[in-house]
Amino acid sequence: MRKRFIPSLFYRLLPLTFLALFGCQENVSTTSFGTSQTELIPAESAIGWPTYGGQPSGTQYSSLEQIHRGNVDDLEVAWTYHVGENPGPGDDVDPVTYQVTPIIANGMMYLCSPFNNIIALNPGTGEEIWRFDPDKDPRDTFYGHNCRGVSYWESEEASVREQRCGKRVFETVQNGFLLGVDADTGELCTDFGDQGRVNLNALDYKGSGKLYSASPPAIYKNAVIVGGGFHDNMYGDAIDGIIRAFDARTGKELWHWNPIPEHLSDKVGGANAWAPLSIDMDRGWVFLPTGSPSYDVYGTARTEPIPHGNAVVVLDALTGELVWSYQTVHHDLWDYDVPAMPTLVRVQRQGEVREAVLQPTKTGYVFLFDRETGEPLFEVKEIPVPSSDVAGEVNSPTQPVPTLPASVTSTQISMEDGWGAMLIDEWECESKLEPLRNEGLFTPPSVNGSVLHPSFLGGSNWGGIAYDAASGLAVVNSSNLVSSVTLVKRDEYDKEKHPGSYYEMKGAPYVMARNVLLSSITGAPCNPPPWGNLTAIDMNTGETRWRIPFGQVELFGPFKSPQAWGAPNQGGPIITAGGLVFIGASPDSLLRAYDLHTGELLWKGDIPAPAIATPMTYAYGEKPQQYVVIAAGGHDGFETVKSDAIVAFRLKK
């Protein structure tokens, strides 16, 4: 993820008195709104896991059902692989996080390491087959070392596939290179780009700063399609969020598309797609989730509409021509990027099967669009929002909010809602909220400080949504935190008076101070729990079917925060035809399995560190066995236990 995480104080939580008051055992309570088990639409045929999102559509769904609700409790660790990258506090490297989701192709499992090594494993044993080291400088990163995944391509010609580099693995490296290696050997494909590398930062991105990428490229036929990120809130004329496609065989650029209007390109930048992309393989379209134009929270230079920022954008995957676009936030001042890959689904509407696009957002709202036209399938209303009181800022008078489904997280908080485990930190949280401008969702940033709720983390984030076509259920995990954002006059900034994350915003009259609001006594968030949820939504009707608090925080020894509080989380769920939802994502060291139709916790498996990643599943072997795999690496930003483990589970033999 390209955003900074919440202050680590929360992950040093909670004195013994805190625990004594509330207990710490995991007892799942499910708020159920009924079930939706009628097969209205045939289940998706998704046996392997060939791309980051399970399929190019990004449904994070598998039609495997060897592991199901009746036997999931028999899961055990089949193998564990260590990538060999787990630096300690004394090592001179930037922070490390491990968010990878492996893929299965060419009879191998492919993944990347935080330092951008590309690795091939035996899917049945976890044994390393080959490894490619790009020799990346350990200090040449943005937001620390991270890689979410790689992509696989093979030639359409059978004779070429058997030749060297007829099958390739592609990776976007955080320092701005696109790499192509032979899928059989891990050697660079020297006919791709410059000896196997395309230097993206050598191309014109029309702004200040450098490109980085943690998300895998999208593949359609011979097109390798790449988005990327940059340092937020550094430059007003940040690099434009240009999407580029390259020939998988030669590395030659096929096309590029810029979300920033040409006449504004020298004033603003951004609107980039830093999250993974999805592909409609039948239509040949690529679906982009774009972010905020720069700066995220100060838009006085953005005096004209930038309709492709904070939008779901659809391009022809072979030409880059715009098909349609829908903006989910106008004139973003909150860092409410579209944070996850669009999920291409089928839903039932008025007796008709509709091909659609499902898009989670940081505001907690989930949009559903007709895939062909971009028309919302649930009504979207333009609601009035408060005006900015910052000199020169003209924010949009309205913002789009879907009537269904309901938000998966809280969208407003009052001073009286200030929360504490004890009376003293409740008073402190109320005192932190009281002076802030607070007029609900889309309260603009201000010089005196404004409430930002949901926080800049969301709501939803890069983990995305898992979708089961047979039931119409979409499962989404979300965080629920209150934060503040303050525009501080540059010559008045004082880190003691303005605590929190500092953003320079070069060239602006202000710097930005942003802070998740926490009790200084216990470290707990100032908004009422749960601080994380897992929600199932019937996308045929828009109704929430069930919602449960999700996630826990490891405290010390066997103790964890109460399950009823949930926890901020990163990563995503997957769904299987066995009626299961698998998810890591929580800052405790567990992989969990839930009943898709009820939200009941059915199983939890110990892993070496929190799985701040999305799992995957596949079948392998002469007598195929189903495996569930998760990267359990922990997170420097969360100050969790750390590891470098890839863990595979299967049923006991």
Listing DSSP states for 518-544 in one string gives B-TTT--BSSPSPSEEEEEEETTTTEE
The residue from 338, 357, 377 where one domain ends is 338
Do 163 and 263 belong to one domain?
A: no
Do 186 and 107 belong to one domain?
A: yes
Take residue 468 and report the two structure tokens written for it.
């089961």
Do 197 and 307 belong to one domain?
A: no
Do 248 and 162 belong to one domain?
A: no
The alpha helices in 124-281, defined as continuous H runs, are 158-161
Do 259 and 165 belong to one domain?
A: no
Please name the amino acid found at residue 323. V
Do 85 and 179 belong to one domain?
A: yes
Residue 151 forms part of a structural domain? yes
Q: What are phi and psi of 104, to 5 degrees?
A: -120, 125
**Parallel, antiparallel, or unpaired for β 625-632 and 616-620?**
antiparallel
> Up-side HSE of residue 215: CA atoms within 13 Å toward CB?
30
Q: Is 73 among the catalytic positions? A: no
Tens-digit pLDDT profile for residues 145-170: 899 999 999 999 999 999 999 999 99
Sheet of 616-620: strands edge to edge? 75-82, 645-651, 625-632, 616-620
Take residue 479 and report the two structure tokens written for it.
């965080």
Do 154 and 260 belong to one domain?
A: no
Sign of CA dihedral 176, 182, 187, 188: negative
Residue 171 forms part of a structural domain? yes
Lowest mean pLDDT among 5-9, 208-212, 369-373, 511-515: 5-9
Residue 315 forms part of a structural domain? yes
pLDDT of residue 636: 75
Sheet of 128-132: strands edge to edge? 103-105, 108-112, 118-121, 128-132
- CB proximity list for 392: less than 8 A, separation 6 or greater: 300
Tens-digit pLDDT profile for residues 89-103: 666 777 788 999 999
Instruction: Calculate mean pLDDT across residues 535-549.
Output: 98
Residue span of the structural domain in which 243 resides: 235-338
Lowest mean pLDDT among 39-43, 333-337, 508-512: 39-43
Cis before 216? omega within 30: no
Do 253 and 139 belong to one domain?
A: no
In Å, what is the CA distance from 151 to each residue of 103, 170, 182, 250, 501? 8, 5, 12, 16, 34
pLDDT of residue 429: 96
Catalytic residue, from 335, 468, 636, 644: name it.
Answer: 335
Residue 611 forms part of a structural domain? no
The residue from 294, 318, 338 where one domain ends is 338
Residue 465 forms part of a structural domain? no
Q: 32 falls in which pLDDT band (50, 70, 90)? A: very low
Q: How far apart are CA 38 and CA 470, in angstroms?
A: 7
Instruction: For residue 139, give the CATH number of its domain.
Output: 2.40.10.480
pLDDT of residue 29: 40
Give yes or no for residue 494 having a pLDDT over 50.
Answer: yes
Counting residues of the chain whose pLDDT is more than 90, the rounded percentage is 81
Q: How far apart are CA 426 and CA 421, in angstroms?
A: 7
Q: 495 falls in which pLDDT band (50, 70, 90)? A: confident
Give yes or no for residue 390 having a pLDDT over 90.
Answer: yes
Residue 150 forms part of a structural domain? yes
Tens-digit pLDDT profile for residues 14-23: 443 333 333 3
Mean of the per-residue pLDDT values of the chain:
91
The residue from 177, 202, 227 where one domain ends is 202
Q: 41 falls in which pLDDT band (50, 70, 90)? A: confident
pLDDT of residue 2: 39
- CB proximity list for 363: less than 8 A, separation 6 or greater: 328, 329, 336, 401, 407, 411, 441, 454, 458, 459
Residue 616 forms part of a structural domain? no
Residue 413 falls in which region: left (phi positive, over 0), alpha (psi -120 to 50) or beta: beta
Helix, strand, or coil (residue 48): coil
Residue 268 forms part of a structural domain? yes
- pTM, whole model, 2 decimals? 0.94
Name the domain count of the chain.
Answer: 2
Instruction: Calculate mean pLDDT across residues 369-374.
Output: 98
pLDDT of residue 89: 62
Q: Decide if 29 contacts 45 (C-beta within 8 A).
A: no
> Up-side HSE of residue 601: CA atoms within 13 Å toward CB?
19
